[in-house]
C-alpha cells in the first residue's frame, strides 16, 4: 500500500442512506405482537420513545446489501467513483457472517480492489467510532478518500417476546465519503468506553462448535442505559467543543444517536439548543444502532436543513458501554 500525503484536515463530501422497503408502523407491529400473545400499544411506544415506525429488511437481505445502497448514494453525492475510494470502514453489530468483515463483502460488491477494508464494532456508537478512525487515517496519510458506513439488520437479534426491546429497533444504513481537505471539516473528535457496564445492553451469545452458545438475542436494562446516556452525552459534547475552541452557541445542528426522543431532547436542553436545532428521525426509523447517525445526517442534508458551512455535532452512545462525539463543519 502506498501512503498518501498527510492531510491537516478532512471533510465530508457526500452523504447517502438506505432503508429497507418494508415499513412497520406501531399499529402494524402491535398487531403482529398480539398474535404472539405480547401486549403493547402505539401510545405506550410513542410516549416512552417517540418511535412511530421502523423498517425491517427482508430475510435474504444482509447488512452489506443495505450498505451497498447507502454507499452508492454517498458516492454519487460526492461525485466520486468506487475506484477512487482508498479506505472502507463499516460500523455494524449485525455483520453478514462471522468473517470476513462486512466491509470486505461491501468492497467486493462495489468492485473495489486493494484498499483497506474493515469493520468497527461499537454498537450504537459505531459510526462515531468509524468516522474518528477514518479521520485519523486520512490525517496521518493512510488514505485520502474513505467510505464510512453504519449498517444494521437489528431485526435479526430482537426477542419478539420482550415488548420492552422489540419495539425499539429497526434496520437501515447510512454512509459518508470523507476526504482529505485543505479546509477544516472535522474539527474535533472524542471516544470513550467503560466495559464495567457490559451487562446493561448486550447480546450475550456466540457460535462455538457449530452451535449457538448463550443467548443470541438483545438484552437491555432500559433505565440503566437511559441514566448513563444522558450523563455521558452532555460531557462528551462539551469536551469536543472545548477541543475545537467552540461553544454550544456555535452548534447549528445536533444529531445524537436516534434511540429515544427523551434522551435526545435532554441532551439538546443541556447544550441550551432550541428544539428546532435537533435532527430527529427516530420517529420514522426507530433505533438503527450504528446506522442511526448517518441516516439522520443524510436525511437532514437531502431535506435542505444542513447546508455547507453549518456546524454539526454528532453524538453516539451504545453497548459496551461506549460513547463519543464528532464536531464538524459541513
Angle at 293 between CA 329 and CA 23, to 5 degrees: 140
Phi, then psi, of 297 in degrees rounded to 5: -60, -50
Q: Which of 124, 202, 260, 285 is catalytic?
A: 124
For residues 172 and 66, the answer to whether their CB atoms sit within 8 Å is yes
Name residues whose C-beta falls within 8 Å of residue 117's C-beta, 6 or more positions apart in sequence: 87, 88, 89, 90, 101, 103, 104, 106, 107
For residues 64 and 109, the answer to whether their CB atoms sit within 8 Å is yes
Collapse the DSSP code of 234 into the 3-class scheme (helix H, G, I; strand E, B; otherwise coil) and give the result. Answer: helix
C-alpha cell at 23: 415499513
104 is catalytic: no
115 is catalytic: no
124 is catalytic: yes
For residues 229 and 251, the answer to whether their CB atoms sit within 8 Å is no
Q: Which of 257, 260, 285, 299 is catalytic?
A: 257
Active site residues: 124, 257, 287
Amino acid at each position: 500500500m502506498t501512503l498518501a500525503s498527510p492531510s491537516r484536515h478532512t471533510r465530508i463530501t457526500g452523504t447517502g442512506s438506505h432503508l429497507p422497503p418494508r415499513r412497520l408502523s406501531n399499529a402494524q407491529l402491535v398487531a403482529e405482537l398480539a398474535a404472539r400473545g405480547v401486549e403493547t400499544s402505539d401510545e405506550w411506544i410513542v410516549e416512552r420513545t417517540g418511535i412511530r415506525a421502523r423498517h425491517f429488511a427482508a430475510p435474504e437481505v444482509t447488512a452489506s446489501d443495505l450498505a451497498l445502497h447507502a454507499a452508492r448514494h454517498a458516492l454519487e453525492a460526492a461525485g466520486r467513483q468506487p475506484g477512487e475510494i482508498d479506505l472502507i470502514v463499516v460500523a455494524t453489530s449485525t455483520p453478514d457472517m462471522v468473517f470476513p468483515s462486512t466491509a470486505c463483502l461491501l468492497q467486493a460488491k462495489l468492485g473495489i480492489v486493494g484498499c483497506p477494508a474493515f469493520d468497527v464494532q461499537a454498537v450504537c456508537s459505531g459510526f462515531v467510532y468509524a468516522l474518528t478512525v477514518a479521520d485519523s487515517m486520512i490525517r496521518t496519510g493512510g488514505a485520502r478518500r474513505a467510505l464510512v458506513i453504519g449498517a444494521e439488520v437489528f431485526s435479526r437479534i430482537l426477542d419478539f417476546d420482550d415488548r420492552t426491546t422489540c419495539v425499539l429497533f429497526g434496520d437501515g444504513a447510512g454512509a459518508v465519503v470523507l476526504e482529505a481537505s485543505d479546509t477544516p471539516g472535522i474539527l474535533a473528535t472524542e471516544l470513550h468506553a467503560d466495559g464495567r457496564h457490559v451487562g446493561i445492553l448486550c447480546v450475550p451469545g456466540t457460535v462455538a462448535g457449530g452451535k449457538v452458545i448463550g443467548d443470541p438475542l438483545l438484552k437491555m436494562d432500559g433505565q440503566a442505559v437511559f441514566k448513563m446516556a444522558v450523563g455521558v452525552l452532555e460531557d462528551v459534547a462539551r469536551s469536543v467543543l472545548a477541543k475545537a475552541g467552540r461553544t454550544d452557541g456555535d452548534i447549528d445542528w445536533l444529531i445524537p444517536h436516534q434511540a429515544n426522543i427523551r434522551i435526545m431532547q435532554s441532551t439538546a436542553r443541556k447544550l441550551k439548543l432550541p428544539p428546532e436545532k435537533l435532527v430527529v428521525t427516530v420517529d420514522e426509523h426507530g433505533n438503527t444502532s450504528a446506522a442511526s447517525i448517518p441516516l439522520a445526517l443524510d436525511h437532514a442534508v437531502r431535506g435542505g436543513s444542513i447546508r455547507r458551512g453549518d456546524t454539526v455535532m454528532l453524538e453516539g452512545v451504545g453497548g459496551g458501554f461506549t460513547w463519543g462525539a464528532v464536531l464538524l463543519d459541513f
